[in-house]
Amino acid sequence: MSSSYIGRFAPSPTGPLHFGSLLAALASYLDARSQNGQWLVRIENLDPPREDPNAADQILNILDTYQLHWDGEVRYQSQRNQAYLEILNRLKRSNHAFPCGCSRKQLAGQLHNGMCQLPEHLHQSGDYAWRFCVGRGQRSFIDGLQGEYRESLENDIGDFVVKRRDGPWSYQLAVVTDDADQNVTHVVRGIDLIDSTIRQQCLQQALDFPIPHYSHIPVAVESNGQKLSKQNLATALQPDESGNTLWDALLWLRQSPPADLRNSGNEAVLKWAITHWQRQALAGIKENPAPLDFLRHN
Ligand SMILES: [Zn+2]
């Protein structure tokens, strides 16, 4: 029996999956499956020069090993150019997007507030970005785990880029386009992305898209406060360690699987975890709900 819940996991293929991204995958998977929802996987490969050509396949293989099975076809953002172009055109037509040739030097570390005049020579060369006109005032939303989150449009956000000067689509425009196109109703992801949420909601509103329900889980950080990433402790997940790592990930997400399930295989462990998923165990927590010491032993 399926419900109207549609969730997703949307990694950027900049390297193999590590523990930090497994947590986001697992939490979004459990939240979706516990509500009989669908769980989609989308590869956010918008910037090929910065990506590892093998990483997408590696990520999908690891998800498979963990028995985190997704619904439908995997979507690749690299194949969505036309859809993003149409969305940009809609934003242009409704005067929500404007061309901007301001250099980093001109902005001098300040946010971009209000439309600017594009110099004629840039107009001809095509050497400019497109920005979303964010407006002014306060905007907030209620996060499923973190409570109310509020930002000032002009002081915290500014007119943000939707198409980069050097060509690629921005993360914000692509995410909003695909979440709407795939009818995503629930977004569960790391709290490091919480400050993108109001940008995304502004775009959704400008485009008349439904606004999904957002929950931001804590991130795994090293003792020096650095987010786990492939640059530090977070070594790539190993397929033959999946049983131990899945168990550790559940404990880290403050779930309490019974000890006698420990060696019964990923499928059985996930089945238990879906039935007993307690998202609220993570409410209000921003980082490391449990120590990361075990990562060093693996
Ligand atoms: Zn500008």
Report domain extents, the chain: 6-79+217-297
Give percent of the chain above pLDDT 70: 93
Residue 233 has pLDDT above 50, yes or no: no
Which class for 244: exposed (0-12), middle (13-18), buried (19 or more C-beta within 10 A)?
A: middle
CA 222 to ligand 1 center in whole angstroms = 37
CA 134 to ligand 1 center in whole angstroms = 13
Number of residues that this document lists for the chain: 298
Instruction: Please name the residues in contact with 163: beta carbons below 8 A apart, sequence gap of 6 or more.
Output: 84, 88, 129, 130, 169, 170, 173
Going 264 to 73 to 31 to 248, the CA torsion angle's sign is positive
CA 149 to ligand 1 center in whole angstroms = 28
pLDDT of residue 179: 98
Residue with tokens 């499956």: 33
The two most distant CA atoms of the chain are separated, in Å, by 71
CA 100 to ligand 1 center in whole angstroms = 4
From the list 211, 201, 212, 215, the residue with the least C-alpha distance to 146 is 215
Instruction: Please name the residues in contact with 57: beta carbons below 8 A apart, sequence gap of 6 or more.
Output: none
Q: Which of 7-21, 183-197, 210-224 has the highest mean pLDDT?
A: 183-197
From the list 132, 133, 136, 129, the residue with the least C-alpha distance to 104 is 129
Rounded Cα distance between 171 and 179, Å, is: 12
CA 101 to ligand 1 center in whole angstroms = 5
Residue 267 has pLDDT above 90, yes or no: yes
Q: Which residue has the higher pLDDT, 239 or 116?
A: 116
pLDDT of residue 172: 98
pLDDT of residue 213: 98
pLDDT of residue 230: 53
pLDDT band at 298 (very low <50, low <70, confident <90, very high): very low
Angle subtended by helix axes 266-276 and 19-34, to nearest 10: 60
CA 74 to ligand 1 center in whole angstroms = 36
CA 175 to ligand 1 center in whole angstroms = 23
CA 157 to ligand 1 center in whole angstroms = 14
Q: What is the mean pLDDT of residues 134-160?
A: 97
Rounded Cα distance between 252 and 292, Å, is: 8
pLDDT of residue 297: 46
Rounded Cα distance between 67 and 233, Å, is: 24
CA 46 to ligand 1 center in whole angstroms = 23
CA 54 to ligand 1 center in whole angstroms = 37
Residue 220 has pLDDT above 90, yes or no: no
pLDDT band at 55 (very low <50, low <70, confident <90, very high): very high
Rounded Cα distance between 230 and 244, Å, is: 20
DSSP SS3 for 161: strand
Q: Report residues near ion ligand 1: CB below 5 Å.
A: 100, 102, 116
Which listed CATH number (3.40.50.620, 3.10.20.80, 3.40.50.300, 2.60.120.20) goes with 6-79+217-297?
Answer: 3.40.50.620
Rounded Cα distance between 265 and 244, Å, is: 10
Rounded Cα distance between 173 and 181, Å, is: 12
CA 113 to ligand 1 center in whole angstroms = 8
Residue 22 has pLDDT above 70, yes or no: yes
> End-to-end CA distance of the chain, in Å?
38
Residue 24 has pLDDT above 90, yes or no: yes
CA 123 to ligand 1 center in whole angstroms = 13
**Residue 151 has what DSSP assignment?**
E
CA 206 to ligand 1 center in whole angstroms = 20
Are 15 and 53 contacting, i.e. CB atoms less than 8 angstroms apart? no
Q: What is the mean pLDDT of residues 23-50?
A: 95
The pTM of this model reads: 0.93
pLDDT in tens, 175-199: 999 999 999 999 999 999 999 999 9
CA 105 to ligand 1 center in whole angstroms = 11
Rounded Cα distance between 221 and 217, Å, is: 13
pLDDT band at 80 (very low <50, low <70, confident <90, very high): very high
CA 141 to ligand 1 center in whole angstroms = 28
